[in-house]
């Protein structure tokens, strides 16, 4: 009976894996085709020629995608990095320094995640226009940092609460000040959960479409997903194969980041689950 259940479980997982991979395989196959091969062939037919790099080059030459990738790199790295740093300082104050009313400060910050993000679209749009930061790099970065802080604080606060307070007391006896305790003792212990947060927040910011299209309109400011959506609207000029290559291209940064952070990411996931 156990053997049968195991076989059924593995079969079910294998079927799910195939269904998950099918769209990816379809995109990769058609991204490598020439426009003629795609137009006069079958979408499930293997490519007759290899045009992936040529199609990627054509996709990058389109301003909406090429500049969008640069913008999203900056938004993702700066937004994730600044939000993690701000959340780490806040968690340090709440858990380690034990500021007065720390739990209520945490609830106030974390309350930003209670409502669906789409509820913020109209108020944000009007506020950005009122303050003159609509369609600006600073305005987009400010939004991504602010929207990422609550979840970062939630994870870092929970993880920091598992650190023995005796470590902090020992550092205080050795003459360390608050900032020294944070930078030299607490922050190195946070590297695994920070790796998790960096990947999560980078991926979220990189894949954002709704806010990128709502809070910006020019190619100089818009993130990559908004640029990709623009390509989809004019694929008749660029070609479907170029669009597919653009999709593959925009998927690479998050995949590369995962492999770079893989060791700390897995360790951080295990630690955060335990905490």
pLDDT in tens, 149-197: 999 999 899 888 888 888 888 888 888 888 888 888 888 888 888 988 9
Tally of domains in the chain: 1
Which of helix, strand or coil describes residue 184?
helix
**Residue 140 domain-assigned (yes or no):** yes
- End-to-end Cα distance, the chain: 36
pLDDT at 208: 93
CATH number, domain of 267, equals: 1.10.3720.10
Domain residues for the domain of 74 are 51-274
- In this structure, what is the dihedral angle of CA atoms 127, 131, 136, 139, given to the nearest 10 degrees? -60
> Which whole number is the average pLDDT over 87-93?
93
The token pair at 30 is: 């058609």
Q: Is 213 exposed, middle or buried (0-12, 13-18, 19+ CB in 10 A)?
A: middle
> Which whole number is the average pLDDT over 197-220?
91
pLDDT at 235: 47
**Residue 65 domain-assigned (yes or no):** yes
pLDDT at 192: 84
Q: pLDDT-based confidence at 267, cuts 50/70/90? A: low
Q: pLDDT-based confidence at 131, cuts 50/70/90? A: very high
**Residue 30 domain-assigned (yes or no):** no
Helix (H) or strand (E) holding 112: none
Q: pLDDT-based confidence at 221, cuts 50/70/90? A: very high
**Residue 29 domain-assigned (yes or no):** no
pLDDT at 265 over 80: no
């Amino acid at each position: 009976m156990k053997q049968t259940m195991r076989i059924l479980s593995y079969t079910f997982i294998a079927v799910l894996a195939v269904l998950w991979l099918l769209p990816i395989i379809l995109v990769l196959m058609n991204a490598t085709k020439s426009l003629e091969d795609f137009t006069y062939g079958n979408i499930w037919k293997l490519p007759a020629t290899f045009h992936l790099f040529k199609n990627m080059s054509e996709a990058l030459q389109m301003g909406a995608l090429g500049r969008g990738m640069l913008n999203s790199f900056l938004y993702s790295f700066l937004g994730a990095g600044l939000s993690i740093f701000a959340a780490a300082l806040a968690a340090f104050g709440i858990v380690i320094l034990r500021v007065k009313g720390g739990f209520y400060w945490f609830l106030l910050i974390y309350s930003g995640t209670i409502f669906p993000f789409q509820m913020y679209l109209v108020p944000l749009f009007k506020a950005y226009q009122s303050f003159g930061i609509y369609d600006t790099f600073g305005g987009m970065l400010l939004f991504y940092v602010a929207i990422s802080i609550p979840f970062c604080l939630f994870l870092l606060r929970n993880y920091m609460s598992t650190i023995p307070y005796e470590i902090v007391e020992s550092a205080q006896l050795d003459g360390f000040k608050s900032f020294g305790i944070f930078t030299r003792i607490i922050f190195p212990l946070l590297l695994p959960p920070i790796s998790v947060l960096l990947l999560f927040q980078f991926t979220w910011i990189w894949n954002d479409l709704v806010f990128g299209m709502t809070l910006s309109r020019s190619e100089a400011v818009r993130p990559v997903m908004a640029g990709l959506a623009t390509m989809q609207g004019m694929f008749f000029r660029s070609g479907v194969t170029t669009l597919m290559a653009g999709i593959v291209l925009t998927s690479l940064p998050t995949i590369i980041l995962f492999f770079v952070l893989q060791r700390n990411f897995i360790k951080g996931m295990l630690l955060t689950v335990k905490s």
